[in-house]
Amino acid sequence: MKLNIHPTVILRTPKFPYQANLEDCWDELKEAIAISSDAFYQVIKDVTADQLHSLPPKVSFTIWKYFNRAKYRSTPYGTFASFSIFNNEGRPGSHSITLNKKEEIRSLVDWPFKNNIHLQFSDLIQKNCFLFSNSSYYLVSDSIRYITCNEGTFELSELDDDAFVRSILDACLKPVRINELINQLGIANEDQKGFFDLLQDMHDLQLLFSNYDPNIIGEDYFERLKIDAENLPKYIIAQRNVKQGNLDGKLFNAIPGLLKLLQGTLPNNDRDALKKFITRFRKKFEQREISLLTALDPEVGVGYDELEQAEGNDDFIVQLHNRDQNKQNELDRLKDAFKKNINANNFFGQEVIFLNKLDLPVNPNPLALPNSTSLVMSVIDDLIYAGQIGGITANALTGRFSMADHEVERYASEIAKMENSANPDVLFFDVAYMVETGVDNVNRRKLIYDAQLAILNYDTSANPLALNDIQISVVGSEIFLRSKKLNKRLIPRMASAYNYSRSDLSVFRLLCDLQYHGLHHNLSLTLDGLFPGLDYYPRLQYQNIVISPKKWKIKKEDFLDPINKKPIPIDDCRNALVEKGISTHFKTGLADQTLCFSLNEVSDIVALIQYMQKQDSVYVDEVNLPQYAVVKDEELKPYLAQYILSIYNNQNIYRPSLVKQAEPEVKRVFPPGSEWLYFEIFCHQQRTDQLLIACIEPFLVSNEKYINKWFFIRYDENGNHLRLRVLLNDIQEGQTLISNLTELLESYLHSGLVSDIQVKTYTRELERYSANLIEDAESHFTVDSKWTLAVIANQLDNFSKYKICIDLAMRINQSGVLDNYEFIKVVRMISDSFNQEHELSASDFKKLNAEYQLFFKTDSNVAALLQTEEYNDFTESFINLLGKCDEVRKTKMFSDLIHMHVNRLFNKNQRSHEMIIYYFLLKSLQRKMSIG
């Protein structure tokens, strides 16, 4: 995979040069404050520059913070910082950028003003407005359920099902004018008044939106309505034009190598909420594909991230089942790897640790990187200081600027097209969400992706996606979304930096979490994250890229007199900082909410003392000012600029959804009393083999005349148990078989060796085995179960069982039912997946290889078993079932059938045994190829 740096760069600069003087900038600063905080502006609007030193301390401190932001912080906020966009040709030796000093202002009506727009629905009817459905509607029993939002709180609303209401909703899934809707539905003239009343009710209930309702994506809402904005409150995006210049391309040479190293080194896991959802979904729906809205329904589905009220007991079980130590284990391994290279106790005295000189273990099969991601950085002389590294799409940081500049819109659309061209079998879509009036300004953006899903807002795109069209399934550990209408896999994206964890809407949270599913998206690394609580951290650097700056811990007590607990003099404060080795300039704060201080400025030391009064302790980061500033204005005044680079790759990272083919209608659910009899026998996992031989097999033999098919599997849900499923020749004999089995198990029940016997409903796994092949699969499971009982009766050791499984796989390979190249590819892929699941380290692989050598050299007593009729029937059944699969299903069926066979063969640790079997099988195939 080749990583490329996009030539288009977003540049962000503070309002003032970093050498600016407050008195000289006071009038401009007041103008910026007036835009951002009218309340504070009223306090200082009449203050002149020569009065600044006579203001109360609290007011002076607030002014200092505003001015500090205007010099050192490049995060856009009113006119306190601006953005630029330029094409970086990256010519070696060319290393300067000249900006226009003057900021150009893009003014939009402030988003909260939308609440002041009130239009009578009768007027909208006269305007022949467009109507658009709230596509979150779906049926549950005799009710229509749909999502509403009232005063910022989302609710699941419900009304009685009405076929006519649904016909209106269906007709408005794409915006349609009222007159056209009347024609579509065949509304007679005399019925139109009642129809209009119904439309108004549906609009009031948030079932319908009109084109006069807000949209967050696309053409600006207020401009679309042609609102006179002259005297309205404004949301401002400031921009400066780049007059000329470039960054030296040689500076960036190390960036791809850094990202690949971090990709292979850093731990990365899916969101915990996604893991819990996958477990709950598989438990309830197995491999079925169902409506996304049904899956998230708190009553008939599984909800998401505890955002719905769930049954307490089940929720507790899920929490226990999902206690995940993987992330911590990976972090601990990373810490251990660092400890082998560096000693945290010796950080004092160290200036720089070079990441590229450390011997760190690299995951040979890391998660893929997103097709585009971001590096937020500053350039100080010949060093790059990396801020944020990662993100799921470069458009997350650029989307908000698309409202201000068509060039940004073009650039963001180019990124979206690149992501799509790398994954032509899926459809990326942007999620249009709005609820927080106070922060939704940053959510406003142009339509960047080919598709859009609007959640409770109007949609201006050509072909809106509908929530109730989206289907969801879980295949293995991967979540798939599919448009039923388009029959295409859907991939959500959000071209916004909005902090979506603020939302309590389950469908929105799931869609946003799904952006990150299965991808390595966070590549930031800090020493204080690995070794928390130390007093000092050296700089962590990769070649010329600083990925973690020097940090020092300072405490409130450092600035207080030990006797009277009052602040110490300014010179003493400065000396205390110098003694710690703190750099001349330093900053503190979180994310982009930072303050920068200089040891040489009295006002900064005063501000630091005041700042520390509300802190027990803080970490401060080094700040280095350049000897040669890259970014200057026409007056050659230097700025502390921040750059946003987009790093992209063309790797295909998304599999398409399986094409849904028409299948015969077959019965899915068999309750007790129907043709399938299903027992769950609860006992210790190591007791199951004895029960199979001593009770289950005699039961099957003595009742053979009543039984058409049967099979067993082992399970641990709600306790270890055997699942025995029996297809009856005659339903009337069901009670007889129940009595016969419980009689055989009665002594085990009395002794406590069997804790419970339950008769349950059998639900076929039609999604896994297909409606076409489910009966063939059940027949194969019968043959598999018979063969497994023969193996268990011989009390074989693990190596012997491994040899049987590998012989089975070799016979399948020799049969030609799977292409030899495809077979090896599938085995390698499954083996890699198991290795990743088990988080195998280098020492683990060493042990595995030693085990394989022992396995290969060990004689086994299975030769006679492999000649039996039961084994030949089993392998023939396996191959025949694979032969009935289409090419798309064949490899999945192979892995599923092997998985079920290993489940039957071993009474515990089945997944670990399966991992070893695939590892040994791959080794055996490679050995065969090397001598073949």
Q: Report the percentage of the chain scoring pLDDT > 70.
A: 96
pLDDT reading at 306 higher than 80: no
Average pLDDT, the chain: 92
Residues 383 and 420 in one domain: no
Strand partners, 97: 245, 631
DSSP state of 614: T
Task: Give the tokens for residue 524.
Answer: 């930031």
Has residue 659 been placed in a domain? Answer: no
Q: Pick the closest to residue 392 from 263, 510, 493, 241 (CA basis).
A: 493
Residues 725 and 807 in one domain: no
Residues 404 and 336 in one domain: no
Has residue 578 been placed in a domain? Answer: yes
Q: Pick the closest to residue 687 from 748, 738, 747, 741 (CA basis).
A: 748
Alpha helix (H) ranges present in 627-765?
688-691, 697-702, 734-751
pLDDT reading at 49 higher than 60: yes
Q: First and final CA of the chain: distance in angstroms?
A: 31
Q: Which residues contact 905 (CB under 8 A, 6 or more apart)?
A: 788, 791, 792, 801, 804, 805, 913
Residues 255 and 385 in one domain: yes
Of 349, 375, 390, the domain-final residue: 390
Show the domain range for 690.
666-764
pLDDT of residue 359: 87
Of 247, 272, 294, the domain-final residue: 247
Cβ atoms of residues 377 and 386 within 8 Å: yes
Residues 25 and 92 in one domain: yes
DSSP state of 76: -
- The pLDDT tens digits of the residues spanning 381-435 come to 999 999 999 999 999 999 999 999 999 999 999 999 999 999 999 999 999 999 8
Of 626, 642, 674, the domain-final residue: 626
DSSP state of 81: E
User: Which CATH number do you get for residue 732?
Assistant: 3.30.70.100
Helix (H) or strand (E) holding 441: none
Cβ atoms of residues 652 and 423 within 8 Å: yes
Cβ atoms of residues 437 and 221 within 8 Å: no
Residues 318 and 288 in one domain: yes
DSSP state of 514: H
Number of domains in the chain: 7
DSSP states along 207-230: SEEETTS--SBSS-HHHHTT---T
Has residue 199 been placed in a domain? Answer: yes
Residues 59 and 148 in one domain: no
Q: Which amino acid is at 571?
A: D
Query: CA-to-CA distance for 322 and 318, rounded, in angstroms?
Result: 6
The mean per-residue pLDDT over the stretch 247-261 comes to 95
User: Which CATH number do you get for residue 140?
Assistant: 3.90.930
pLDDT of residue 285: 86
Residues 812 and 908 in one domain: yes
Residues 207 and 266 in one domain: no
Has residue 431 been placed in a domain? Answer: yes
pLDDT of residue 93: 65
- The pLDDT tens digits of the residues spanning 83-134 come to 999 999 766 667 899 999 999 999 999 999 999 999 999 999 999 999 999 9
Has residue 262 been placed in a domain? Answer: yes
Q: Residue holding tokens 């419900």?
A: 158
pLDDT of residue 314: 38
pLDDT of residue 480: 96
pLDDT of residue 439: 85
Has residue 525 been placed in a domain? Answer: no
Highest-scoring range by mean pLDDT, 348-357, 460-469, 888-897, 920-929? 460-469
- The pLDDT tens digits of the residues spanning 12-39 come to 999 999 999 999 999 999 999 999 999 9
Has residue 526 been placed in a domain? Answer: no
Residues 36 and 146 in one domain: no
Residues 594 and 692 in one domain: no
pLDDT reading at 581 higher than 50: yes
Query: CA-to-CA distance for 181 and 816, rounded, in angstroms?
Result: 58
Residues 487 and 603 in one domain: no
Has residue 634 been placed in a domain? Answer: no
pLDDT reading at 313 higher than 50: no
